[in-house]
Amino acid sequence: MAETVAVSSNTPFLWEGTDRKGNKIKGKSLASNEAAVRADLRRQGVVPSRIKKQSAGLFAGSATIGAADIAIFSRQLATMLAAGIPLVQAFEIVGNGHENAAMQKLILAVKADVEGGSSLAEALAKHPLHFDDLFINLVEAGEQAGALETLLDKIATYKEKTEAIKKKIKKALTYPAAVLVVAFVVTIILLIFVIPAFEDLFKGFGADLPSFTRFVIDISQFVRDQGWILAIFAGGAVFTFLYFKKRSRPMRHFLDRVMLKTPIVGPILQKASIARYARTLSTMFSAGVPLVEALESVSGATGNIVYEVGVLQMKDEVATGQRLQQAMENTDLFPNMVIQMIAVGEESGSLDEMSAKVADFYEEDVDNAVDNLSSLLEPMIMAILGVLVGGLVVAMYLPIFKLGAVV
């Protein structure tokens, strides 16, 4: 009982001591108090000489756990099990050596449950925010088949590939978004601080201003007078949008469907969803998970509610005896090439291999499409910047050019 308390609490302790051979060793443990750490060390044959609570520090590890952390953990655990290291010891090594305090706490909590007699799948299932059904189902299949290290390796590969696709898409969308935000900020600064200075200068001309210049000055005046109202309205609109996007499934379904039909970006998102579908199906089926049960997990891994609903529809049809190929055709979400390759996999008994080939093809296709998108967006972004900033500059210099022509 003391062991469970020692590893599942929040406080990290640094300790020094000697092992059974008299060698000096040191390490770090999570425990509720110093007594729990001391008891845990003695159980391991370590005589502690110094125990102190670790301070958080200004640059302490991250307090959150991301999908990348789970992918790295899967790879580390698979590598250690393949090297013959016992499961509990592997958790101890990975957990105590992790820089992310939250991830360290999670790993050692799972280790405590395993030491308490739970299977690894049962221990992971207690943390649904970090280990989804797909992860748990594959671990359970690996434990039942006696090939846990092999299944963990498949999970690690799957996680790494899906994370690579996500990062690629985020990178392609983040760059133009960041540039447009900067352009917007620069435009607001010009309208609030620079345009008024020119307006004061133009008042001494005693002549009518060009219509374009007058238009820009009016916009500047409106932003200065009513800008706070616009800012509040825009902030409220963004907050409302994000709130309902997170909590309203019909809204997310609508947005995902719109995004799939968006020019340029839509085809990339479609290919990414197909790649995740095929990669997850291949991983689950190769682990021996029944097709109907596999499709349940595959639906949540596509990353798009439209495909999630489509795969769940496929699951219901397959459960009634329909072939997977026909079920895919009925959704109208998959290209003919994907359907035919899955059909070949079904007929030849190599559905996992054909799904993996589909995943490889579409993952590479997403990489190429994202690279092409980045090349396409750069000149478009420069054009937008030129119109925004250049238009303001031209508007301010038109009266000066007009005055020069008169002189």
What band does 133 get if pLDDT is binned at 50, 70 and 90?
confident
Comparing C-alpha atoms, which of 40, 33, 39, 42 is closest to residue 11?
A: 33
How distant is the alpha carbon of residue 97 from its chain centre? 24
Q: Check residue 183 and report its DSSP letter.
A: H
The pairing of strands 11-18 and 24-31 is antiparallel
Who has greater pLDDT, 169 or 355? 355
C-alpha dihedral (87, 92, 98, 100), degrees to nearest 10:
100
Whether 358 shows a pLDDT value over 80: the answer reads yes
pLDDT at 61: 45
**Sheet arrangement for strand 47-53:** 24-31, 11-18, 47-53
Comparing C-alpha atoms, which of 315, 289, 333 is closest to residue 133?
A: 289
pLDDT at 248: 82
Whether 6 shows a pLDDT value over 90: the answer reads no
**Contact, 175 vs 378, CB < 8 A?**
no
Distance CA 327, CA 224 (A): 58
Using CA atoms, how far residue 195 sits from 132, 365, 395, in Å, is 54, 47, 10
**Helix or strand or coil: residue 24?**
strand
Whether 9 shows a pLDDT value over 60: the answer reads no
> Mean of the pLDDT values across residues 85-110?
83
**Contact, 160 vs 75, CB < 8 A?**
yes
Q: Check residue 27 and report its DSSP letter.
A: E
> Mean of the pLDDT values across residues 59-68?
64
pLDDT at 385: 81
- Mean pLDDT over all residues of the chain? 82
What band does 407 get if pLDDT is binned at 50, 70 and 90?
very low
> Mean of the pLDDT values across residues 174-186?
83
Distance CA 79, CA 50 (A): 33
How far the first Cα of the chain sits from its last, in Å, is 94
Distance CA 319, CA 307 (A): 18
Distance CA 393, CA 379 (A): 20
pLDDT at 306: 93
Give residue-wise pLDDT tens across range 17-43.
Answer: 887 777 787 777 766 677 777 877 777
- Which residues are within 8 A (CB) of 143 and not within 5 positions of it... i.e. 6 or more apart? 119, 120, 121
pLDDT at 205: 67
Give residue-wise pLDDT tens across range 307-340.
Answer: 999 999 999 999 999 999 999 999 999 999 999 9
pLDDT at 1: 33
Whether 206 shows a pLDDT value over 70: the answer reads no
Q: What percent of the chain has pLDDT over 70?
A: 91
pLDDT at 5: 34
Comparing C-alpha atoms, which of 84, 83, 3, 75 is closest to residue 36?
A: 3
**Contact, 394 vs 188, CB < 8 A?**
no
What band does 8 get if pLDDT is binned at 50, 70 and 90?
very low
Whether 364 shows a pLDDT value over 80: the answer reads yes
pLDDT at 7: 37
Q: Check residue 209 and report its DSSP letter.
A: P
**Contact, 355 vs 345, CB < 8 A?**
yes
Distance CA 122, CA 110 (A): 9
